[in-house]
Amino acid sequence: MKLVFREYLASLRERNELDVVLPDLLSELGFNVISRPSTGPRQFGVDVAAVGPMVDGEQKLYLFTIKQGDLTRAEWDAVPQGVRTSINEILDGYITKRIAPQYESLKIVICLCFGGSVKEAVRDNLTGIIERETTDKISFEEWNGDYMAGLLADGVLQHQHVSKSLQSRFQKSIAMLDEPDVSVQHFTALIEGLVEADNQEALQRLATLRQMYICLSVLFVWARTQKNLEAPYRASELVILRAWELVKGDIEAASTGHTRIGLTFGELLDLHTKIWTELMGEKILPLTAKRDALGSSVNSHCAVDINLKLFETLGRIAVRGLWVLWPHLEGNGLRVLDASEVPEEASKLASHIAELIKNNRALLSPIADEQVIEITCALMFLSIMREWRSYARDYSDELLSYYHFNFTRHYQYPTIHGSYQDLIRHPQAKTEAYRAQQTKGSVLIPIMVLWATLDGESEYSERFAQFARSEMKHCNQQVWMPGAHTEALLYLSRPSHGLALCDVPITGDGEAARKILERECDAGGDYSRLSAVQLEHWPLLVMACRHSRLPIPPQLWFPIVAKEATNRDADAWQPTDETVRAHWAFWYSRRAGANLRSDGDGKIHFVSLPNWGSEPAD
């Protein structure tokens, strides 16, 4: 384990990596961190300042200057960030001017912190300056990679609830980075073990959160060295969701311990962003502008593999875009932003999505109904920005057109099944009965219609509405909504929960669906009780839905598809009370169409869910 941490520390960069890990390590060791790295103000050579634990009745003030990798002659004499310069600035500037009055009486330890080791070429220089500047008040310590690796191995992962089996899982997740599925499987077992341990007190939860951060950081740095970042990206989403489930009750608390939990969770989000940038920003986004470049990069000749990977890529870019827009949207109410309100990064991501769709036409033909998740994420992101709303509508028009074409020709139309084995065999037959069985329920169709009618009825939406009325009478058009048990299960990636609004009407202008959704969304209900909504972290809800393979709830996205550009009256159809009451809990997994039964009690009972076990729900 120590070797794992040593190689990890040696590969850390100085800024935003080693200087982020060190404060958490110090906190775990009992230090009181009083100053963290920052950009802008002059730091006088001190990256981290901390008050050490009481030893023999005495506390000391530790001043850390951090350098990446090995200490070489170039690092020693570099200007203005060399080690010699940093030591002089600490002695001449920080100690004389920057120490707070309450710490002036403490003895000072200047810690020279390196991710690697001190090379022999500069050993004498370092020894000489330490001997010359050491006094009764000031002393020096060398924290090299080997020393800090021992602290990590013996401190962070040696708590009594971190068993040898969990440490073994951690090592296996790193060893299997070239097989992302296997690596994530082992890492998931590690995270589940940490979360399930005794975390009753805030300090215990904080320690667990730091463990999760450091373990993910180690996985990321090793993967970066091996140039295979798929496993840490998937692991980062898992860690964020499990961490939220662990500490969501602490986010609003005002005590010192709870504040530290909030800061550490923020660091975890920053690490996820860093992993996204290394994988998607540097390796994937540059390929979106090249025809079929990403599709050709999928290591498979199977059209299903390419389709799944492209939609997954679309979802990852869109979710990142939603995180970018999040600080620019007040609370949980999504709204349309004008061009002046949209950050440059979001506009660039929207351009990449447009290029991705243009150059990879498979993104017009989803093969599974559950790909509505990625499609909704993309449409949400695009339609929040006013300049991209027309593109979101046009994309939906194309989706409707391709759905109609593929359905009528019995060719890879979206199926209710999401398992890989079912998808690679679909369609197994070109018969009406088989097609009806595979499309007995849909969440995708209402989403496509709502976005295709952003500006009112179009040629595409009217043609599709006629098609739906004539050829898809068997299909139960649905919208998923959170239920009473969603909050307890959503961040644990468990899909068997939630409510369904069934029989959503499909019309050429989308007004019938809008009216019923407006009434449902105004009702509040279980959605408003979700912690991600209450604490205004709605991108977490989107991430959790993607991870659990559940559609995005309409309470989040409906405000940006409400009718804006037309005053046309709705069709004569109006939702009845019985239709509105079609807000029923059911065993909602993979959106399979259900066999229904009415007992005249104002509810619809789900008698069975074909192909998904025998567990019924009312």
Sign of CA pseudo-dihedral 408, 411, 413, 415: positive
**C-alpha to C-alpha distance for 434 and 382, rounded to whole angstroms:** 35
Tens digit of pLDDT for each residue in 520-571? 888 678 999 999 999 999 999 999 999 999 999 999 999 999 865 333 333 3
- What contacts 248, CB < 8 A, 6 or more positions away? 491, 531, 532, 535
Strands 32-35 and 107-114, how do they pair? unpaired
Comparison of pLDDT for 376 and 334, the residue scoring more: 376
Query: Would you give the DSSP letter of residue 551?
Result: P
Tens digit of pLDDT for each residue in 156-168? 555 544 667 888 8
Tokens of 287: 């390929």
pLDDT band of residue 4 (cuts 50, 70, 90) is confident
Tell me what pLDDT residue 120 has: 84
Tell me what pLDDT residue 604 has: 38
Q: Specify the range with the lowest mean pLDDT, choosing from 3-7, 87-91, 130-134, 593-597.
A: 593-597
Query: Is-above-0.85 flag for pTM?
Result: no
- Looking at the chain, the whole-number percentage of residues with pLDDT higher than 70 is 86
Tokens of 588: 């909602």
Average pLDDT over residues 326-344: 89
Q: Amino acid identity, residue 130?
A: I
Tell me what pLDDT residue 438 has: 95
Tell me what pLDDT residue 1 has: 65
Assign 479 to helix, strand or coil.
strand
Residue where the block lists tokens 């109006």: 574
Instruction: Specify the CATH class of 1-155 in words.
Output: alpha beta
- What contacts 246, CB < 8 A, 6 or more positions away? 195, 199, 205, 208, 209
Q: Amino acid identity, residue 128?
A: G
Which residues make beta-bridge pairs with 606?
596, 617
Mean pLDDT of the chain: 84
Tell me what pLDDT residue 92 has: 87
Checking if the pLDDT of 474 tops 60, the result is yes
Strands 138-143 and 60-67, how do they pair? unpaired
- Are 107 and 58 in contact by the 8 Å Cβ rule? The answer is yes
- Are 19 and 47 in contact by the 8 Å Cβ rule? The answer is yes
Tell me what pLDDT residue 255 has: 66
